Structure 1
Amino acid sequence: MARVRLSVEERRAEILRVAVEQIGARGVGNVRIADVAQELGVSSSLVLYHFSTKELLVAEAFAHAARGDLARLRELLGGRGSAARRLRAAVRWYAPTGQAKGWRLWIEGWAAALREPVLRDVTHDLDRQWKAAIAEVITEGVAAGEFRCERPEDAAWRLTALLDGLAVQMTSYAGRLSRTTMLEWVDEALVRELGIDRERLRSAR
């Protein structure tokens, strides 16, 4: 059977999808252009036509993996209800045991970014977008009189740093920390950062 001819955009998306899978399975250091090509049943030269180096492919794959989660984050933060309700829902979704991006993939990316400038630029930009989205809803809550927070940007940094750190612990040392305890710590952080009491946070509508 003849192979279906894909548009440039479709082919790039297909390559990126498989690259994400290969990174998750093999790790950034071990994945090869040939592995991605073989999985797709195409030549390595075709992959290189769309992504001229492995470093560029890996960086674009991480950006591709994050786009859906960024869209979901903004959907949660921009939905109906109080700022507290929206922020708590988004933070719990983003948490290590939530439904957001595969944490193992991102830990791989952070480690590789120490050595790969292209990947470092991509992960830094994605991190900036996450923090900006969190800071925006905190600012909105302050303006509405829900929160007491003098520096929303700082609060967003601390919240995402806590979640990222918990993700490393829970991914690297599975079973050492329960999901219930982790979510309690996240709620405690929200209470501190937003200047609201725990019952108000939990009953936010």
Structure 2
Amino acid sequence: MSTVQSTSRRKAPVERAAEIARTAREIALVEGLSAITLRGVASRIGVTPALVSHYQPSMDVLVAATFGAIVAAEIGEVAEELAPCETSVATLQALINTLLGPERSAVTAVWLDAWSLGRRHASLAAEVGVQMDAWQAFLSGLLTTGCARGEFRTADPDAVAWQLLAIIDGLNAHAIVRYGDAKRLRGLVRTVAEHELGLPSGALGPADGSVL
């Protein structure tokens, strides 16, 4: 019997499956989606690759599920963070601040991995689409609420949501490879959002990207 087999206690199938999923998320956030392999997951858990394969016969499916779980969790975290905001303007300001802050860099890196690896993996590409739609719906809902309250003015909240997400994603992609400073460039996103939503200049914060 191998050392790996003997040092890992037997676990119920549900417990083992959850452990594999949790370990895959940990690997993705530290080493990237490409590091999620049979050997990589098995080594962290202390089991054989064959055991991981028994629960997750397709690494492509595990990678896609891992990406989806990480991004869905982030949306939940951001929604909770924004909940105390009393106005739509304050909510959008807080959203821009958090999405362009360094605290989200680990998830940003996972997004970049997914966009790249998704070119060759259909299951991951499909999950990227699902999560992009989820983020767009989240932001579009925020903008639609702001319009209903009379805080924003736009005929197409859906389009503005896509526009803002594209800019935020681009700035974060630059920052993750140390090209530019996404935090300093918050002002760019604020300026575009103010223009598209009929807000006065400075309504979402200083143009220099600082946070009040």
- Answer yes or no: is 1:201 the counterpart of 2:190: no
Gaps of 5+ in 1: none
Aligned twin of 1:34: 39
1:156-187 CA-to-partner distances (Å, cap 9, x unmatched) read 10011111111111112x1x423453111121
Give the C-alpha shift of residue 77 in structure 1: 4.5
Q: Report 1 or 2 for greater relative contact order, CA contacts < 8 Å, sequence distance ≥ 6.
A: 1
Write out aligned runs for 1:55-204 (5 A): 55-95=60-100, 97-99=102-104, 101-172=106-177, 174=178, 176-202=179-205
Aligned partners of 1:89 and 1:7: how far apart in 2?
Answer: 43
Cα pair distance change 1:153/1:24, threshold 3 Å: same
Task: Give TM-score scaled by structure 1 length.
Answer: 0.86
Q: Give structure 2 stretches of 5+ with no counterpart.
A: 1-5, 207-212
Number of aligned residue pairs: 201
Given that residues 61 and 123 in structure 2 are in contact (C-alpha distance below 8 angstroms), is that contact kept between their aligned partners in structure 1?
Answer: yes
**Contact 1:77 1:137 (C-alpha < 8 Å) held by counterparts:** no
Q: Structure 2 residue aligned with 1:48, among 46, 50, 53? A: 53
Q: Secondary structure at the match of 2:22?
A: helix
Distance in structure 1 (CA, Å) of the matches to 2:198 and 2:91: 16
Q: Distance in 1 between matches of 2:78 and 2:30?
A: 26
Q: Percent identity?
A: 25
